[in-house]
């Protein structure tokens, strides 16, 4: 994240969210830092269980037992959200920061019409009469590309397709023209041609409204298409952060490399896909040292022992490109084998 603006819209420092379960403490988010500038799209990418959704829910102050934000600063427009009373948080949620979720038909209330759900946002956050709310709702549906919005506003979520339901969610998310939109896997459940429509829509709306977006996904293709900045997460921590072009052109972390190389790319056939051996670690029982060490081929290749002892910090190894990896950092006893 460049330091260009005098203040970031969102600043996360040292975020730790743990879940206290019968099986032990699940360290879902374990020390996460990042910033989001106004109008910027930050891609938060990682596979299942890496902590990206929990990060989003933490920002929205939606973590419930047995989860708890244990530590960290969540600063939105210079205000620490963790220190605000509930009424103030409710003022901000859905209004200045809103969120859209992965499975739209599961996230919408099945017993309320789509128009009424949309109107609810205005009911809570705006001072309008019934007729004004209805008109605004219909207008919003039109803006997100729903044909025949006056009719569709009377429909229930189950009467819509996945793509339409997702548009409704986007409409709800953007109703109050928020400064920040958190989109948690907004297109994963959708067909690829519908996904393209939705991503296009999100980009247009961002351009028109200047909304910053945190786009959470496991799909590196979507990240490449949409994001300005990217943070790669693994087992509760950020392992690499950079602008989208430098990240793909020059990924440093072995996990990032592995991810990029394991994806089949249309138009480039290889005989065999690179794969990453093994599986994600159990978050209750993280390995000592670097979380990725057990699966890391680079560690083997360079015969590094420090990886299994100490977890590296995020280090800025090139301007605006940070990596959490012993390949690139020195300590007293360890010399980094690779330095860009």
Q: What are the residues binding another protein (CB under 8 A)? A: 47-48, 147, 161, 163-164, 191-197, 199-200, 218-227, 244-245, 248-249, 258-260, 262-267, 269-270, 272-277, 279
Q: What one-character DSSP code corresponds to residue 157? A: G
Measured from the CB atom, the residue of 87 and 277 that comes closer to another protein is 277
Residue 149 neighbours by CB distance under 10 Å: 19
Are 146 and 158 spatial neighbours (Cβ–Cβ below 8 Å)?
A: no
Nearer to another protein, 164 or 211 (CB): 164
Q: Which is nearer to another protein, 119 or 230 (CB)?
A: 230
Nearer to another protein, 79 or 279 (CB): 279
CB of 153 to another protein, least distance (A): 17
Cβ contact 107:170 at 8 Å: no
| Least distance (Å) between residue 136 CB and another protein | 24
Asked whether the beta carbons of 160 and 168 are under 8 A apart, the reply is yes
39 or 162, CB closer to another protein? 162
Least Å distance between CB 278 and another protein? 9
CB of 232 to another protein, least distance (A): 12
Using DSSP bridges, classify how beta strands 237-243 and 229-234 pair: parallel, antiparallel or unpaired.
Answer: antiparallel
Residue 10, strand partner residues: 36, 76
CA-closest candidate to residue 250, choices 230, 269, 234, 270: 230
For CA atoms 95, 100, 105, 109, give the dihedral sign: negative
Shortest spacing between CB 88 and another protein, in angstroms: 38
Rounded (10°) CA dihedral 262, 263, 266, 267? -20
Nearer to another protein, 46 or 312 (CB): 46
Place of tokens 């879940």: 19
Give min distance, CB of 158 to another protein, in A: 14
């Amino acid at each position: 994240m460049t330091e260009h603006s005098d203040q970031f819209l969102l600043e996360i420092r040292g975020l730790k969210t743990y879940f206290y379960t019968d099986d032990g403490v699940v360290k879902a988010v374990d020390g996460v830092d990042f910033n989001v500038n106004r109008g910027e799209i930050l891609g938060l990418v990682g596979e299942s269980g890496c902590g990206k959704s929990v990060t989003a829910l933490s920002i929205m102050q939606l973590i419930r037992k047995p989860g708890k934000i244990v530590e960290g600063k969540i600063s939105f427009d210079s205000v620490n959200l963790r220190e605000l009373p509930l009424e103030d948080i409710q003022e901000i949620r859905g209004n200045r920061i809103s969120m859209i979720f992965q499975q739209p038909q599961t996230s919408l209330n099945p017993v309320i019409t789509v128009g009424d759900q949309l109107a609810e946002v205005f009911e809570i956050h705006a001072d309008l009469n019934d007729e004004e709310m209805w008109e605004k709702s219909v207008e919003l549906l039109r803006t997100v590309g729903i044909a025949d919005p006056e009719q569709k506003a009377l429909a229930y979520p189950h009467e819509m397709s996945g793509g339409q339901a997702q548009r409704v969610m986007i409409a709800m998310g953007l109703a109050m023209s928020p400064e920040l939109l958190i989109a948690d896997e907004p297109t994963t459940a959708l067909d690829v041609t519908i996904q393209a429509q939705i991503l296009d829509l999100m980009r247009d709306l961002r351009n028109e409204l200047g909304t910053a977006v945190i786009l959470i996904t496991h799909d590196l293709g979507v990240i490449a298409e949409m994001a300005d900045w990217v943070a790669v997460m693994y087992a509760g921590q950020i392992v690499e952060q950079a602008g989208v072009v430098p990240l793909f052109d020059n990924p440093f972390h072995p996990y990032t490399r592995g991810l990029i190389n394991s994806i089949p790319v249309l138009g480039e056939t290889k005989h065999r896909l690179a794969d990453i051996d093994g599986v994600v670690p159990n978050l209750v029982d993280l390995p000592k040292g670097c979380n990725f060490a057990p699966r890391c081929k680079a560690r083997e290749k360079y015969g590094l022992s420090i990886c299994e002892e100490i977890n590296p910090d995020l280090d800025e190894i090139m301007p605006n490109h940070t990596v959490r990896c012993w390949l690139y950092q020195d300590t007293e006893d360890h010399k980094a084998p690779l330095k860009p």
